[in-house]
Amino acid sequence: AGAKDDTFNVLDLAEYTKNRPWWRKIFAPSSGSSAEKYNVATQLVIGGVTGWCTGFIFQKVGKLAATAVGGGFFLLQIANHTGYIKVDWNLVQRDMNKAKQQLKFHSSGNKMPPEVKSRVDEV
């Protein structure tokens, strides 16, 4: 029916990897763990750089979040002081007294039955 072609092309992997860009050599998917792919110095450098970048990003995000929360609290205090917000201090005092009573109830071990206390301790 037809003649079979028994010729094969040879691929030299050493030449193939020399022509690849450096980022493909570092980040290319390969089998095995990262401990097998990179030497210790490379792993330390990659870990140090990613750790520094992560810390830098979380530092900036943390400052932004703290500024937003603090600024919001500051604006609420200004709005309360100038009269834009009216706080019902009697309601606040009543809620605080309820919370104190609940804390006293939960902190005293004599008022709770032992089965409830054991469940609370488990939780």
pLDDT digits (tens, 9 = 90+) for 42-73: 889 999 999 999 999 999 999 999 999 999 99
Using CA atoms, how far apart are residues 113 and 117, in angstroms rounded to an integer? 6
At 9 the pLDDT is 77
Q: What is the 3-state secondary structure (H, E, C) of 54-77?
A: HHHHHHHHHHHHHHHHHHHHHHHH
Q: Rounded to whole angstroms, what are the CA distances from 111 to 77, 81, 96, 98? A: 40, 43, 21, 17
At 22 the pLDDT is 67
- List, as one string, the DSSP characters of 76-94: HHHHHHHTSS---HHHHHH
Q: What 8-state DSSP symbol labels residue 6?
A: -
Domain boundaries, the chain: 37-107
Q: Is the pLDDT of residue 4 over 90?
A: no
pLDDT digits (tens, 9 = 90+) for 71-87: 999 999 899 889 898 88
Q: Which pTM does this prediction carry?
A: 0.40
Which token pair is 27?
């980040």
> Quick one: what percent of the chain has pLDDT higher than 90?
32
